[in-house]
Copies of this chain bind each other. A is one copy, B any other.
């Protein structure tokens, strides 16, 4: 070790997880796993490093180079720390394409890095839940993943006042624009590009851009109208569109299953123009102080196309970051006191009692399913009690020389301050 004193700060945009932080993460990742596994989603994972190529193939060289941590390995191969899971899972599916049991209901909670300026809700290192169904291209799969997202939030105790799933359909979007403009696909696409950027420009330039593409005031008003329409009125504008039919089927089913109270049709959900091909959705936090999209996803085609020519496996899914979820849970006070409720016993130690007697006691407790530790060390009793309190222990067990002789130990509940006397041979039943 050298004499230089190093910084104790974690690398910019990353976090250290002390036990209290980790307990929170384990709690919410545990709930996520439980909810998804209950619905027969299966967990997978892939490596943290991938060939840079796969991000270039998906997003283009500029974005891939800018957003990823990438470097040449000693063999001259360009590698990147994964900034997202989709290219990895596409590769993983493609590698065993012929052997897998479709439809796949898969999820993963990988850690990943994005090279960006750290800001509120966006860090360089984060964990992201990815939930996808591969190999089923009808609305049932869309429904299943949307239902899983709702179930996750409900599992944390959220209700319909706290979040809302905003749903649109990219096929419908394309078709309704073409119907309103009465134009061909190419022209409709140019119009779509303007609409996609609507929130990024002022109203005046938005209208100017549409007019330059030949749209009348009436057509612009018709497009405006879509943002406040319900799904029935909107889809009625192009009833023959496959997208309309998908939207209608999906909303019909949401209504029949009572999930409609968590969902709303929203023409404003586009999620970029290049990737998604059918249903798209974003889950919004309804808290006034935090009202924004927390996460989203949708249907995309040709997942494995960059790995297997002529193969086509479509998917539908979403990705949810840990930072966003944690902030949602904290905003809505959905995090219980994770340091309470569990029995955790500190066996305090006195020098005049042979250490192996404490080992016997602690093993008895552990074998009966109770979390327990001897105080490791030789501090005074008062210090040991402080340690127990600070370490979220629920009880301390006191066994000095006289308790050892009588075979009856003291157990103190640190919350209620009550003290009980318990025979050593009844210890394993005491907490059960």
Which residues on A are within 8 Å of B, measured CB to CB? 1-2, 4-11, 14-19, 21-23, 25-26, 33, 37-40, 42-51, 53-54, 56-58, 69, 71, 73-74, 79, 81, 91-92, 94-96, 101-103, 105-106, 111, 113, 115, 124-125, 133, 135-136, 138, 140-141, 144, 147, 253, 256-257, 302, 305-309, 344, 346, 354-356, 359-360, 363, 366, 369-374, 376-378, 387, 390-391, 393
Q: Choose among B7, B91, B92, B125 the residue that contacts A18 (Cβ–Cβ < 8 A).
A: B92
Structural contact, A366 and B39, CB atoms closer than 8 A: yes
Q: How far is the CB of A52 from chain B (nearest CB, A)?
A: 10
Query: Can you tell how many copies of this chain the complex includes?
Result: 2
Inter-chain contact B253/A19, CB cutoff 8 Å: no
Smallest beta-carbon distance A45→chain B, Å: 4
Is the CB–CB distance between A14 and B377 below 8 Å? no
Instruction: Evaluate contact between A8 and B49: CB separation under 8 angstroms.
Output: no
Flag if A111 contacts B16 (CB, 8 Å): no
Residue from B48, B102, B377 within 8 A of A125 (CB atoms): B48
Query: Which B residue sits closest to A112, measured CB to CB?
Result: B48
List, in ascending order, chain B residues with CB within 8 A of A54's CB. Answer: 6
Residues of B within 8 A of A39 (CB): 366, 371-373
- Smallest Cβ-Cβ distance to A110: which chain B residue: B111
Between-chain CB contacts (< 8 Å), 19 pairs: A1-B305, A4-B57, A5-B306, A6-B57, A6-B91, A7-B307, A10-B91, A14-B49, A18-B44, A22-B43, A38-B366, A38-B372, A40-B346, A48-B48, A48-B81, A136-B377, A140-B374, A144-B374, A253-B359
Docked-complex contact B356 and A257, CB < 8 angstroms: yes
Assembled-state Cα–Cα distance A382/B147 (Å): 27
